[in-house]
């Protein structure tokens, strides 16, 4: 399974994460550390986000903690950039 991983470290609830994509449509997934571990082992996981065809995805961190953005392309190559905006 090919994917890009962007560790966000500790983030407060309400923080906005913006993911810019270039290339193929992709799954953009925001996961906490325990769900990321399960995802990397091929197990079941819970995440925020999902499949997108648009070039800008905005996600909100639901609870304070350690978070990671995973971008999983639907075949082909994708380039992604992640920007974090402080919680209000």
- Do residues 72 and 3 lie in contact, with contact meaning Cβ atoms separated by under 8 Å? yes
pLDDT for the residue numbered 87: 67
pLDDT at 1: 67
Is-contact 72 31, C-beta < 8 A? no
The pLDDT value recorded for residue 61 is 97
Q: Which of 25, 6, 27, 26 is nearest to 17 (CA)?
A: 6
pLDDT along the chain (88 residues), means of 10: 93 97 94 97 96 93 98 92 85
Q: Are strands 48-52 and 26-32 parallel, antiparallel or unpaired?
A: antiparallel
pLDDT of residue 69: 98
Classify domain 4-85 at the CATH topology level.
Jelly Rolls (2.60.120)
Domain boundaries, the chain: 4-85
pLDDT at position 54 is 83
Question: Which DSSP state fits 41?
Answer: T
């Amino acid at each position: 399974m090919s994917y890009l991983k962007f560790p966000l470290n500790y983030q407060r609830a309400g923080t906005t994460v913006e993911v810019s994509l270039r290339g193929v449509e992709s799954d953009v997934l925001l996961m906490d550390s325990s769900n990321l571990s399960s995802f990397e082992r091929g197990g079941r996981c819970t995440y925020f986000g999902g499949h997108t065809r648009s070039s800008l995805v905005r996600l909100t961190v639901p609870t304070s903690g350690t978070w990671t953005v995973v971008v999983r392309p639907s075949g082909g190559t994708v380039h992604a950039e992640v920007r974090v905006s402080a919680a209000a």
